[in-house]
Structure 1
Amino acid sequence: MNKYLACGVCLLALHNSAHALTLPASPVTAPAVDDERVDLNTPTTAGSRLNLTALQTPGSVESQTGAKIRERGDASVQDAISRATGISRIGTPGDGGTSLQARGFTGQSSVMQLYDGNRMYTGMGTSTFPVDTWAVERVDVLRGPASVLYGEGATGAVVNTLSKKPFTGDIENHIRLGYGSYDHQQQALDSGGSLTDTLSYRLNLNRLRSNGFIDRGDSSSDFVSAALRWQPADNLSFTLASDYGDQRPQNYFGTPLLNGQLHKSLRDKNYNVSNDTLHYNDQWTRLTSEWQLNDNISATNELYYLKNQRRWRNAENYNFTNGQLTRSANFGIKHNQEQVGDRQTFTFKHRLFGLDSQTVAGVEYNRIRLRLASNSPFDDVLKNGQPIDLYHPAPAAFQSQDPFKPVFATTTKTVAGFAENRLQLTDQLALITGIRRDYAHIDRDDLRDGSQSDKTLTGNNWKAGLVYAITADTSVYGQYATSTDGVGGLISLSPGQQQFDLSTAKQTEMGIKQAFWDHRGEWTLAAYHIVKKKLLTDVPGDPDLKQQVGQQSSNGLEASLDLQLPNAWQLQANAAIVRAQYDDFKQDVAGVQVSRDGNRPVDVPRRTANLWLSQAVTDNIRAGAGVRYVDARYADMANQNKLPSYTVVDASVSWKALHNTTLGLQLSNLFDRTYAVSQYNDGQQWILGEPRSFFVTADYTF
C-alpha cells in the first residue's frame, strides 16, 4: 500500500491545470427542508476542523441528513449509520446498544461517536447521546483513524451527530404523531425561528413508547433538546444548548441457542428476571461562542457539562446444557458520571512559503468523574444457574449472594493541543496535515479496600494527505494517519489495565471521488491498510496476567454511488469488503496458551452492502425501498461460533395530503427475516432484529 501511495503522489505532482480549489464560506444556519441533500461539495464536520468539503478531504467521509434518516424510518443514529459504507451494528444492552464496527475495529474504544463535535467519554462502555433521530440535523462519518482530530479511541471511524440548530426567520412548528406495531407510539414537536432581531431558538421534544417484540419488552424514551442563539453583531454569536434524555430500552439480552442452533419459536421469549432494570439518564449543556475577528481570523469556544446516570439489574446469561436452560450472571450495576470540558480553537487564513494556507489550532480540557457501584464479584445464589422452562420462563426476582455497594471512583483529567493545516501547493494540489498531543491522568480510588492507583498516559498523533483536483468535480487523494486507542475504557481502567500504554495504529489510504452527469451522480472508491499494535494478550501459564505485544490488521476496499435518475428516481448504494485478522494474538484456554494468529476479530463481517431506491411518484407522493446486507461474523476469538449473514428489506411511502399535512408509512424487515444483529455471552445468545413491523406517521406544520 505504501508503494502504491508513493507512486500515486508522484503522478499527481506531474499533472498540471488551471483549476483552483477555494475554501468554502462558513455555513449559514437555516431550517431543515425535506429535500435537503448533501454531496461531495458539502463541508464535512467529521473529516476536518477546516470546514473542508468531501472533495477537499484526503479521507473517506460520508453524510446523511436527518430528513433522509427519518424518511427511511431509522429509529436510532446507529440504525442510520449502519447504512453507511462498511459500518455495522454490534451493540448490546451492556453498551447502551450503541457500539459499531468499522474497518475491522469494534466498540466504543475504536469507533468514536461525537455529539455536535464533542466527545463523550464513556464509562464502562456506555454512551447514549443522541437518544433518537428526531432532533438530528445531519450525521457525518470519517472512516479510518481520527485520533489526530479527536484524541484516543478512533482507529476504525468517528461518527459526528449534528443536532438541529436555531435559525433566523419566521417561527416554524412541526408536530408528529405516530403509531405502529407492538403499540409503538410517538408524539414529537420541532419548533424554531426568530424571537427578536438578534435572538433565535430551536426546541425539539420527542416521546416514544412501545410494548416491544418480546414478552415484557416495554420501552420508553423521552428527549428534550433546546437551544437559544444570540447574535449581538454580525461577527459574534453565542448559543446556549441543553439536551435531556431519559431512556428505558427494551431489556433484551438475546435469544439462547439450543445446541448451537437458533429456534424461531423462541423469538419472542424473555428470560430475564421479573424486576429487571435498564435505565439511562443523560443531561448535556453547552455554551458555544463564535467570533469572526476579521476576514482572516476567527475563534470558537465551546464550554460544556455532561451528566450520565446508568442502572442495570438483570440476569444476563442463558445457557442450554444437557436439555436444560439455566439463567445466570445476575449483574446489578450503577454508575454516575460527570464531564466538564472546554475547547478553544482559532482559525487563520494566511500565506505560508508564499502559498495560500489555512490553519486551525486549539486546546481542549476535560475533567471526568466516574463512580461505580455493583454486586461484584457477581456470585449467583445457585452456582450453576437457575433452571427455567424453555417455552414458559418464570420471571423470578433478581438474586445475588453479594451485596450491592460502591466499588470505585475515578477522576480523569485530559489536556490536548492540536493543529491542522491546508496548504495549496499548486492550483490543483493541496497538502493537508495535522498533529495532536494528548495528556491524560487517571486517579482511581477503590471504595472497598481503600487502595489507590493512578496513571498518566500520553498520545502523539499526526496525519499527512495530498488531494489532487483532476477537474473541478474529480479529485484523487492519498493519506497517512496514526491513532491511539485505550486497552479499555479510559476513565474506567482497572489497576491492572493502568500499567499498559495506549494501543497504537497507523493507516495508509488512497481514493478517488467524482461528481458526474451535471452533478446528478457521484461515486467514491477507497483502499486502505491499517495496523494496530500493543494489544493485550495472555501470558503463558497465568490467565490473570497480560502482556502488551499483540497486533491486528485490516485491508479493505469501499465504494459508494449516488444517482439522480430520470423520472425523479434516486439511487444510493455502497459496498465494502475488509480482510481483518489477528497478526499476533494469544488467548489462554483452560491454562493452555492458544494462538489466534490469522483469525478474524470478533463481530467483524467480511462484506457489507446497502442500497436505497426512491422515487417522487407525483408532486405529493414519494416512495422508497432499501436493502441492508451484513456478512457472517464470528462471536469468539477461536472463530468457532458464527453469526449468519443477513439481508433485510425496508420500505417507506409518504403522501402530502394537504399543503401542511403529510402522512407516512414505514415498513421494517418487509419479508420478516429472523436475523442476529449482534451477540452476547460468547455467541450463546443472539440479539435478534425486530420482526416485520409498520409505523404510521402524521406530520403537521404551521
Structure 2
Amino acid sequence: MPTLKCYVITLAGYQTQPSEAILNSMISPLFRSRRLVTTFCLLTSSVGYANASEQVELAPSSIKATARSQDVEHLDSVSSAGSRLPLTALQTPASTSSLDGDEVRSRGDANVQQAVARSPGITAVGAPGDGGTALSARGFTGQGSVMQLYDGSRMYSSMGTVTMPVDTWAIDRIDVLRGPASVLYGEGATGAVINVIPKKPFEGDIENHLRLGYGSYDNRQTALDSGGSLTDQLSYRLNLNQLHSNGWIDNGDSQSTFVSGALHWQASEDLSFTLAHDGGNQRPMNYFGVPMINGRYHEGLRDKNYNIENDKQHYDDQWTRLTTDWQISDQVASSNELYYLTSHRRWQNAENYNWYAATQQLSRSGYFSIKHNQEQAGDRQTFIFKHSLAGLDSQSVLGMDVNRIRFKLTNNSPYDDVNPAGDPVDIENPAAGRFQSASPYSELFKSTTRQLSVFGENRTQLSDQLSVITGVRRDYVDIERNNLRDDSRTEKDLIGNNWKVGLVYALTPDSSAYAQYSTSTDGVGSLVSLNPTQQQFDLATARQSELGFKQMLWDQRLEWTLAAYHIVKKKLLTTDAGNPDLTQQVGQQSSDGLEASLKLQLPQDWALTANAAFVRARYDQFDQSVSGVAVSRDGNTPVDVPKRTANLWLDKQLGSSVQIGGGLRYVDSRYADIANTSKLPAYTVADASLSWKALRNTTLGLQARNLFDRQYAASQYNGGQQWILGEPRSLYVTADLSF
C-alpha cells in the first residue's frame, strides 16, 4: 500500500532564500489570502509515493553537472519544452520542438527571433518599441501572448518590452511550446512559450572555444566559450560575445556585449548549487523602417534612415540566479531557484514618417523620449514526486513561485511635437536633425507588482499504452501604481486560474497520439505597467482544444509530427457600440490551425528538416473607435498574423571535414492594421551555410543570409505606414578554434 505523507513547503528552505525582510515585502500582501495557503496544503498532502526502489528522475536541470553531450535530441529525449515533469516529446500532449544551439549558430541566426522563426508556426514581428523581440504564434502576437523565458525564468514585460537574451552565442538550445501554457508559467502565454536554455557547466577537462567573425556591413565578432571541471566538485561555464556592425542602412551602427557565467558546486551526491549570472548591454541599430509612398514601397529607399542624429536606443539587462537541486530521497527531488533581475532601457527617437500625397512631402514626427527602470526579485520552489495513485504509476510536480517587480517609467508624454504638423524631410536625402519636443521629459509613474502562484502537474499511467497528464495553477497578483506627476495612486488585485488535461496513447514505443484541453490568461496590457483605465479590467481568458500525432520511424532516421488546434480568447477590450467613449471587456478572437514538422536522415549523409503551419485567425466580436464612432471589426484578421508559414533546411556532409547546408523561409502576407486596409506582402528568403574543418582544432565557416537579396518587410510600424525591412544579402565568415 502507498504511504501518504504531507510536506509543508516554504520558501525558507535551504540557504538560498532572500533575507526575511525582502521575502516578507514580496509576499506578505498576498499571503493574507487563507484560500491560497489552504489550496497549497491540500495539493501537497494529496501525494502518496511508491516504494524506495523506484527513484524519481529530475527534469532537464539535474543534480549533477554531466559530461558535455553532443547527442541529437529526438522525440524520445527528455525535454523541458512542454512540462515541468521529466517527459519526452512522445509523452507530452502538446506541440513542442527544440532547436539545438550549434545548429542555430551554423545557420547564421544571430538572435533568438531569427532562430525560433524556423520552428513551426512562429513568426518574428519585432520592432524597436518592444525590444525587437515580439513574436506571433497561433494567431496571437506580442509579449502579452507569446511568452519568452530565459533558463525557465521570466522577466515580466513592461510596456510590452523584453530585451533579454541578446544573441545566440551562449545558447545550448531553444525549447518551444505552442498553445496556451499559463498552467505552467502564468498569465501571458496564450500563443506560445519560448524558453532559451543557456550553456551549462560540465564535468571533465577544461575546453575552450574561440570564435572570430567578420562579414558584410563591417560585422565583427569576438567570442569565447570555456568550461569544465576546476576540482572534483566544482565546474564552470563562461561565455563572452562582442558584436559590432556598421549596419546596412545609413547611420545604422550597432554593438552588443553579452556575458554568461555559471559555477556548479556538487556539495554531495544528492545536493548541488549553481550560481549563474548573465548580462547583456545592447545598442541596436536604431531603425523604424521606411515610409510608404502613396501606399507603396519604393525599392530605392531601402538603405535610408529617417531617424535623428542624436537618437538613443540602449538596453542593459542583468540576471543573477542561485539554483539548489536536492535529491531528498529515491522518490522525492527538490529544486529551488532564487533570482534577481534588472533591466534599464532608454529610447530617444523620431519614430513616425508619413507621406502626404497632397503636398508630395514626407513629414517626420513622434519625438519620443522614454526610459524604463525595472528590477525583479523572485523565488521558485518545486518538488517532483514519484508515487502511486490508486495503484497506478504516477509522477507529480508541486510548486510555488513568488515575484516582486518594481518598475519606473520616465518619458515626455503626452509627446507633443514642437511642430504639430511634423518636420518636412527630403525623402531621398533625409537630413538627420536633432531631437526636439514640446513636452518635458520627467518621471511619470512607478509601480510595485507582487505575484504569488501555486501550481501542480501530474502524469498517471492508466495502462501500458494510455497516460493522462493534468495540471492546475492559481496566480495572485497585486499591482500598486503611483503617478509621480499628480501623486495619485491606484491599486488592482488580479487572480488567474488555469488548468489542463491531456491524454496520450502510445500506439507503439515510437509513436503516440494525444488530445489536450488547456486554458490561459493574458493581461489587457503588461501587468507591471497597467494604466488606471486598464486596471479596471480583469485578465482576458483563453481555452484551447488540440489533437496531435508524433512518430519516429526507421531507427529514428525519420521523425514527424502533426497538430490541429482551436483557440478562443475572450474578455478583449472593445469599444462600446452604443457609446464609443466607453470601453467594455466583451471582445473575442479565435484561431484554428494545423502544424506539421519533419526530420529525415537520408542516405549518403543528407539531412532534411521541414515544417509548415496554417492558421485562420479572426476577431469574432470586436469594435474599434474611429473618429469617435464604433466600427465593427468582426471577421477581420489580427495584426501581424500570417496565414501560412513554412521552413526548409537541407544539410549534406562531404567527407569528414566539409558540411554544406541551405534553406528557405516562407512567411505569408500579414495585415498591418486592425481595419485590414494595409498589408505586408508574403516573402520567401533563402539562406546557406558552409563549414570546413581545416585542422583538428580549427573550423572555418561561411554563412549567407538572404542569398538572392530579396527586399521584403519583416515587420511594420506606425500602423503599416512604415516597413521594417529584412536584412539584405549578407556574407559572414567565422574561424572557430578549440583548445
Deviations 1:302-339 (A, max 9, x none): 00000000000000000000210010000000010000
**TM-aligned CA distance change 1:31 to 1:248, over 3 Å:** farther
Q: 1:389: which partner in 2?
A: 426
Which whole-Å CA distance do the structure 1 matches of 2:258 and 2:489 have between them? 38
1:539 shift after superposition: 2.2
Q: Paired residue for 1:313?
A: 348
CA distance in 1, matches of 2:573, 2:58: 46
1:340-364 Cα deviation digits (max 9, x unpaired):
0000011100010000000000010
2:721 paired with 1:684: yes
Inter-partner Cα distance in structure 2 for 1:197 and 1:80: 36
What does residue 593 of structure 2 align with?
556
Q: How far apart, in 1, do the equivalents of 2:580 and 2:362 lie? A: 29
Q: Counterparts of 2:321 and 2:267 in 1: how far apart (Å)?
A: 19
Instruction: Indicate conservation of the 8 Å contact 2:58/2:333, yes or no.
Output: no
**What residue is the counterpart of 1:656 in the other structure?**
693
Q: Which residue of 2 aligns with 1:221?
A: 256
Could you list the per-position Cα deviations for residues 180-204 of structure 1 after superposition, in whole angstroms to 9, with x for gaps in the alignment?
0000000000000000000000000
Residue 602 of structure 1: SS of its match in structure 2?
Answer: coil
Shift, 1:23, TM fit:
8.3
| Aligned-pair CA distance for 1:30 | 4.2
Q: Which amino acid aligns with 1:300?
A: S
Counterparts of 1:255 and 1:51 in 2: how far apart (Å)?
A: 47
Tell me which of 60, 81, 90 is aligned to 2:95. 60
Give 2:144's aligned residue: 109
Give the alignment of 1:409-488 within 5 angstroms.
409-488=446-525
Distance in 2 separating the partners of 1:30 and 1:520: 26
Deviation at 1:222?
Answer: 0.3
Equivalents in 2 of 1:526, 1:24: separation in Å? 28
Distance in 1, matches of 2:582 and 2:309, equals 38
Task: Map 1:604-615 onto structure 2 (within 5 A).
Answer: 604-615=641-652
Letter in 1 for 2:223: A
Q: Does 1:292 find its partner at 2:292?
A: no
Between the aligned partners of 1:544 and 1:433, the Cα distance in structure 2 is: 43
Q: Which residue of 1 aligns with 2:10?
A: none
1:354-373 to 2 correspondence within 5 Å?
354-373=391-410
Give the Cα–Cα distance (whole angstroms) in 2 for the partners of residues 461 and 230 of structure 1.
Answer: 36
Q: Structure 2 vs 1, CA of residues 44 and 499 (structure 1 numbering), >3 Å: closer, same or farther?
A: same
Letter in 2 for 1:333: I
Closer, same or farther: CA 543–370 of 1 in aligned 2, 3 Å: farther
Q: Structure 1 counterpart of 2:478, which letter?
A: H
Structure 2 CA distance for aligned equivalents of residues 198 and 619 of structure 1: 36
SS at match of 2:582: strand
Q: Are 1:125 and 2:160 an aligned pair? A: yes
Give the residue type in structure 2 aligned to 1:639.
N
**Corresponding position: 1:533 with 2:534:** no
Q: Deviations over 1:181-238 (max 9, x none)?
A: 0000000000000000000000000000000010000000000111000001111100
Query: Secondary structure of 1:377's partner?
Result: coil
What is residue 17 of structure 1 aligned with on the other side? none
What residue identity is the alignment partner of 1:135? Answer: A
1:200 is aligned to 2:235: yes
User: Which of 586, 602, 614 pairs up with 1:565?
Assistant: 602
Paired positions, count: 681
Would the aligned equivalents of 1:541 and 1:592 in 2 still touch at CA under 8 Å? Answer: no
1:628-652: per-residue Cα shift (whole Å, max 9, x none)?
0000000011111000000000000
Deviation at 1:26, TM superposition (A): 5.4
> TM-score, normalising length from structure 2?
0.91
- Give the drift of 1:544: 4.8
Is the Cα contact below 8 Å between 1:535 and 1:550 reproduced in 2?
yes
Distance, in Å, in 2 between the alignment partners of 1:127 and 1:428 is 42
- Partner residue in 2 for 1:596: 633
Shift of 1:546: 1.2
SS in 2 for 1:576: strand
1:235 aligns with 2:270: yes
Aligned to 1:620: 657
Residue 36 of structure 1 contacts residue 65 of structure 1 at CA under 8 Å; is this kept in 2?
no
Q: CA deviation at 1:677?
A: 0.6
What SS class does the counterpart of residue 118 from structure 1 fall into? coil
* Whole-Å separation in 1 of the counterparts to 2:59 and 2:146: 28
Q: Aligned to 1:279, which of 314, 317, 322?
A: 314
Native 8 Å contact 2:56 2:385 kept in 1: no
CA contact (8 A) 2:59 2:78 kept: no
Shift of 1:538: 1.1
Q: CA deviation at 1:545?
A: 2.9
The corresponding residue for 1:157 is 192
Worse-matched range after superposition: 455-464 or 127-136: 127-136
Q: Deviations over 1:354-403 (max 9, x none)?
A: 00000000010000000010000000000110000001111111000011
2: CA distance between counterparts of 1:167 and 1:294?
Answer: 24
Q: 1:215 to 1:140 in 2, by over 3 A?
A: same
Unaligned runs of 5+ in 2: 1-54
1:398 and 2:435 correspond: yes
Q: Secondary structure at the match of 1:55?
A: helix
What residue number does 1:3 align with?
A: none
Quote the Cα distance in structure 2 between the aligned partners of 1:542 and 1:374. Answer: 31
2:532 pairs with 1:495: yes
Aligned to 1:251: 286
Q: State the Cα RMSD in Å.
A: 1.2
For 1:180, which of 184, 199, 215 is the aligned residue? 215
Which whole-Å deviations, capped at 9, do the CAs of 1:640-697 have from their partners, x for residues lacking one? 1000000000000000000000000000000000000100000000000000000000
> Partners in 2 of 1:31 and 1:324 — Cα distance?
63
The CA distance in 1 between the partners of 2:439 and 2:729, in whole Å, is 41
- Does 2:69 correspond to 1:69? no
Which of the numbers 627, 633, 642 marks the counterpart of 2:679? Answer: 642
CA contact (8 A) 1:642 1:683 kept: yes
Q: Determine whether 1:166 maps to 2:166.
A: no
SS of alignment partner, residue 184 of structure 2:
helix
Deviations 1:247-295 (A, max 9, x none): 0000000111100100010000010011000000000000000000111
Q: Residues of 2 paired with 1:501 and 1:182: CA distance? A: 48
Contact 2:288–2:717 (Cα < 8 Å) also in 1: yes
C-alpha spacing 1:400/1:109, structure 2 compared with 1 (3 Å)? same
More off after superposition, 393-402 vs 42-51: 42-51
Partner SS for 1:562: strand
In 2, Cα distance between the equivalents of 1:23 and 1:196? 28
Gaps of 5+ in 1: 1-21
**Are 2:56 and 2:332, in contact at CA under 8 Å, matched by a contact in 1?**
no
Identity percentage of aligned residues: 65
**1:119 CA displacement:** 1.1
Tell me which moved more, 592-601 or 417-426. 592-601
